[in-house]
Amino acid sequence: MNEGESTECNTAGYPARGKEFPAYATIPEWCRISGVGRSSTYEALGAGHLRARKLGTRTLIDVAHGLAWLDTLPMAAVRPHGVKRTKQAA
């Protein structure tokens, strides 16, 4: 990533600064676009969360579908530094 370049996505699923994603991306490209690691990508494929096509030996991820899936994941709960986690009742 270049200095000053943002990785934030707007609500339309397109990156900030007017760039558009390709319709399909190889596994390494998908990992760069989404921030999802290679192993997690294959796990998501196996679980049916991501859609992919095969072109010869290449696996191409449906980027719009994958980004839509990422938007369905729960928000991270991040505590300020020094705040201890409380135990939840079972």
Condensed to tens digits (0 to 9), the pLDDT of residues 4-32 reads 444 444 434 445 444 689 999 999 999 99
List the chain domain ranges.
20-72
The Cα–Cα gap between 13 and 80 comes to 28
- What gap in Å lies between CA 58 and CA 52, rounded to an integer? 10
Contact by Cβ (8 Å): 50, 66: yes
Q: Which two tokens stand for residue 82?
A: 């020094």
**Amino acid symbol at 90:** A
Q: Any residues with CB less than 8 A from the CB of 58 and at least 6 apart, and which?
A: 26
Q: What is the CATH number of domain 20-72?
A: 1.10.1660.10
Better pLDDT: 46 or 10: 46
**pTM greater than the 0.75 cutoff:** no
